[in-house]
Structures are given as structure tokens and as C-alpha cells.
Structure 1
Amino acid sequence: MALRLSRLVTPQTYRRMLVSEGEFAVDEVSRHWVTRVVPALFVVGGMAAFALMPFLGRGWALGLVAGVALGGYGFYRLHYEYMDRFVITNMRVFRVHGIFNQHLATVPIARILDISVEQPPLGMLLGYGHFVFESAAQDQGLKRIQFVPDIEHRDLTIQRVIQRAGLRARMEWTEDGDDGS
């Protein structure tokens, strides 16, 4: 029972890997801290509602309800963001998210055709971006991963895994830029 309840508290991405087949994590990424700003503001709003309770007189119950609602929602969203993980392994990339209803989306490394990196102006300033995956599958479960911290580093990690898996041709560089043909 305790093991099952721990699934609500930590993402446990290691359970999703095919260790017996030699799969290992290359990188595990939680979402950028900017996704926690709005939920934290809800928590602060809940604390403010509690702080105002003594000044509300007979309406103290309204402050209590507002504090519990704002704080509870804020803590839930903070935990939801914490549980959202993007994992790069030597065989695939996958995302696990959700608390009570967990969702797993996977794309094998061999099926990744194209990776686009989007970085909005705020993302360039704060150091995050979004991945858009194009795979060989018609209907894919993993299309867009948002708010990835240090997106350039994560993109290079994925490209390195693809290269080491031998899925992309390696071209040797010649001094004059000619490929020898």
C-alpha cells in the first residue's frame, strides 16, 4: 500500500524504463521554475485570506473558505508541475505527468524524424523553450514538450543519443569542403 501511495508523491520515472533490455536514463528533466510562479501566487493569496480573517468580523468564514480554496489549488498545481517529467534514455524519449491519473507518452529514438526547438522571448530571457517532435508514427503521443529548462543543452543531448544509436549518417569533413565525389 505504501509503495502505491508513493506514486502520488514522486514521479518514479525509473519504473517506466526497460532496465532488463539495457535502457538507462541519459537525462531527466522537470519543468522550468517559471511554471510554478502562478501556483505560488495562489498559495500566497490563500495565506493573505487567512491573514485577513481577524479583520472580517462575522465574515471570517469567507476568509477561511477563500484561504483553503486558494491555498489548496495552489499546492495542487505546484505538485502537478513537480510530477511532470521529461526523460531522455538511450532508447527513447518519454514524458510522465499527472498525479491521480498519470499519463505516459513515448517516442522511440529510431522514430524521431525531426525536433523543432521554439524559444519565445521570455524563454530566451529566463532560459527555457519548447520541443516539437515529428515522428514516423501517424498518431503520436509525444508531440510537444513545453517549458524545458536549458533547451539548447537538452536538444544536444537528444541529438547525441540519436547519433550514438547509429541512426544518423556520419559525414567526414574534408579540408576544402568537398565530400570527395
Structure 2
Amino acid sequence: MSGIEIVIGVVLGLVVNEATDLSPWLGRVLVRWAAGIEYADEDPQRPVRSEELQALINVRPGKLLKLLTGLGFLSAAVLTRLRRLVGSDADGSLAEALPPREYREDEPTMLVARYLFATERYRGEWKRHWIHIAKAGSVILLYGVLGVWVTQLRIKPQYAGFLTAAICVATLVVIAYRFAGWWFDRFVITNKRVMMTRGVLWRRVRMVPLMRVVDIQYNQSVLGRLLSYGSFTSGDRTTRRTISQLRDLPNPNELYLRLLEEMYEPTAVEARLGADDEDTEPAAPATDEVIAGLEKLVLSIESLIAALGRSER
């Protein structure tokens, strides 16, 4: 090895080392940019979101992973901004149909509304993370491939083609059914309880009252930290035992804080939601349209009666 090659190797090693040390700092800079792109300057959520993302960068293992996480949040913020611009009104105002964040106090969907009673306040609903259906689909696909392989080895050729086609169709049907179950399943939070609705053809509802929950925590694997999903475990206030475990929920850190706020600071939640309701303008009454419709209905009935009278004559 010549002297030039040694010098080049040392220089490249120093460059790589310095670039690696800069990765955490650059990751924090990128998430600050992401918060600035996602929220307007006057939005009070902007500094809060920036602090949350920087804290998330700090807990990411390694150095390059911090940089990759920052790039991921920055790209997501740019996509969100582009969606807002594409869905903007003619005067340039942002379309209300595109929420800036995933978590909003909205009206419950039809999948959840039927299980809520009138006096409880709806706080939000979430599907499981996409990794849940990815894991289930991978396992089902693996079994399908093994079934086809065994069929080709063990079954006579005159029957192998039919059984192979049957296994492929059954695999696709099971994957489609599991996908539908993932799509219809909902994790729901109200001011009274935590609820999980499951099933496509047979619906199953499981709920835990908030007053019974003494301990709630979430666990994240290494892959869960990379893709932002985790599992929740809740304990019983009286028996001190695990009463529920929910796997593969999205954004577990924010969801965990949402649950804690609902459990220990319900008055703060009500105050915030009340302020949001005051900011929204009430919908204009549709009394005139209703009266006009009733008048048209009466005229139609009168004309029908007159036509029947002329036909009897």
C-alpha cells in the first residue's frame, strides 16, 4: 500500500466519522424544518410539534438513524403541504377537508357511532398500523406458497393443477378478508372508556372503562420505533392485573399522551374542545328549504287528488 493510499484512507475515515457525528444535529434541524412546513408561523402548535419531533429524534438509536428519521418527517411534511396546496380553494385558502395532522376531534364514523351512547364525548378513532396487515398477509402468503409446494411434490399430476388453483384462490380470499378486517377495526377513545371494535361479518366490541384503568403503557420493538407503531397494555385498578392488550397501534407516543390527558386532565380536554366549538361558526338553518319542499309536496298531493276526481267522473 502506497503512502497516497494511506492518506486517502485516513481522510475518508475522518470524513465519514465527522459526517456520522453531524447526523443527530442534522436530524434535529430537519424536524424543525418539518414543523415549520407543516404549520403556519402563527400556529401555536408549531413549537409544540417541533419539540415533540426533536424528542423523538433524541430517542432514536444510532446516529445515521436519527438523520433518516429527520428526512422521513421532512418528506412527510412536504407531502402534506403539497396536498394542502392542491386542495386549496380559489382564493388560496387551505381546504378544510385535508387535516394537517392525523389526530382530530371529529364526528365518529358509522362503524363506531352505533356503539356510543348519547352522554359520552367522542375523542377519536384509529385503525391499526399498516404493519399489522403486512405481517398477517406475509404469514398467509407463506402458508399458501408452502401448500403449493407440497401439492406439486406429493399430489398426482392430474389433481395437482386443481389443488394448486384452489390453494391460490383460498390464499387470496383469506388475505382479502384479513385486509377488510384491518380496515374496519377501530380503536376508539371517549371520555368514559377505551373501546376496540373488530370483525367484518361478525362484529365484536371490547371496551374498558377509564375509571378501571390504573396503569397503561406501550411497548415498541426496534422495528416499531422505526415505523412508529407499538402495543398498548392496560391494567385493572382493583385486581392489578392486565385486562387488555392492543397490538400495532399507530403513533403510540401521541396516543399514550392522549389517553393520559383523558384519564388525569379531563377538564383540560373539555376546555380545549369547547374553545374549538366556539371558533367554528354554526351552520345556517335550512328552514326555508324545508318549507319550500313541504309546499311542493302539498301541491303535488292536491294535483293528484284532482286528477283522481276527474278520472272517476
TM-score (normalised: structure 1):
0.69
- Give the root-mean-square deviation of aligned CA atoms: 2.8
Q: Equivalent residue for 1:129?
A: 230
Q: Equivalent residue for 1:171?
A: none
Residue 84 of structure 1, CA deviation: 2.1
In the superposition, relative to structure 1, how do residues 141 and 133 fare at CA in structure 2: closer, same or farther (>3 Å)?
A: closer
Please give the per-residue CA displacement for 1:81-113, whole angstroms capped at 9, x wherever unaligned.
222211111111111112233222211122211
Residue 61 of structure 1, CA deviation: 2.4
Matched, 1:31 2:136: no
The question of whether the paired residues in 2 share the 8 Å contact of 1:107 and 1:141 is answered with no
Distance (Å, rounded) in 2 between the aligned partners of 1:114 and 1:160: 13
- 1:147 pairs, out of 230, 237, 248, with 248
In the superposition, relative to structure 1, how do residues 146 and 38 fare at CA in structure 2: closer, same or farther (>3 Å)?
A: closer
In the superposition, relative to structure 1, how do residues 114 and 141 fare at CA in structure 2: closer, same or farther (>3 Å)?
A: closer
Q: Equivalent residue for 2:163?
A: 62
Q: Equivalent residue for 1:165?
A: 266
Distance (Å, rounded) in 2 between the aligned partners of 1:11 and 1:78: 19
Distance (Å, rounded) in 2 between the aligned partners of 1:83 and 1:11: 10
User: Which structure is larger by alpha-carbon Rg, 1 or 2?
Assistant: 2
Q: Greater helix share, 1 or 2?
A: 2
Gaps of 5+ in 1: 1-9, 50-56, 167-181
In the superposition, relative to structure 1, how do residues 77 and 11 fare at CA in structure 2: closer, same or farther (>3 Å)?
A: farther
Distance (Å, rounded) in 1 between the aligned partners of 2:197 and 2:122: 14
Q: For residue 29 of structure 1, what is the amino acid of its counterpart?
A: W
Distance (Å, rounded) in 1 between the aligned partners of 2:184 and 2:249: 14
Please give the per-residue CA displacement for 1:30-62, whole angstroms capped at 9, x wherever unaligned.
11100111454557979xx8xxxxxxx965423
The question of whether the paired residues in 1 share the 8 Å contact of 2:236 and 2:242 is answered with no
Distance (Å, rounded) in 1 between the aligned partners of 2:141 and 2:228: 25
- 1:99 pairs, out of 200, 205, 218, with 200
The question of whether the paired residues in 2 share the 8 Å contact of 1:112 and 1:135 is answered with yes
Distance (Å, rounded) in 2 between the aligned partners of 1:86 and 1:128: 14
- 1:86 pairs, out of 178, 187, 191, with 187
Matched, 1:118 2:219: yes
User: With CA pairs under 8 Å and 6+ residues apart, which has the higher RCO, 1 or 2?
Assistant: 1
Q: Equivalent residue for 2:176?
A: 75
In the superposition, relative to structure 1, how do residues 100 and 137 fare at CA in structure 2: closer, same or farther (>3 Å)?
A: farther
Q: Match of 1:100, SS?
A: coil
Q: For residue 132 of structure 2, what is the amino acid of its counterpart?
A: T
Distance (Å, rounded) in 1 between the aligned partners of 2:164 and 2:257: 50
Gaps of 5+ in 2: 1-108, 149-156, 268-313
Distance (Å, rounded) in 2 between the aligned partners of 1:89 and 1:28: 9
Distance (Å, rounded) in 2 between the aligned partners of 1:145 and 1:153: 15
Q: For residue 221 of structure 2, what is the amino acid of its counterpart?
A: P
Q: Equivalent residue for 2:112?
A: 13
* Identity percentage of aligned residues: 26
Residue 163 of structure 1, CA deviation: 2.5
In the superposition, relative to structure 1, how do residues 89 and 17 fare at CA in structure 2: closer, same or farther (>3 Å)?
A: same
Q: Greater strand share, 1 or 2?
A: 1
Q: For residue 227 of structure 2, what is the amino acid of its counterpart?
A: L
Please give the per-residue CA displacement for 1:101-149, whole angstroms capped at 9, x wherever unaligned.
3222211122211111111111111111111101225498951011011
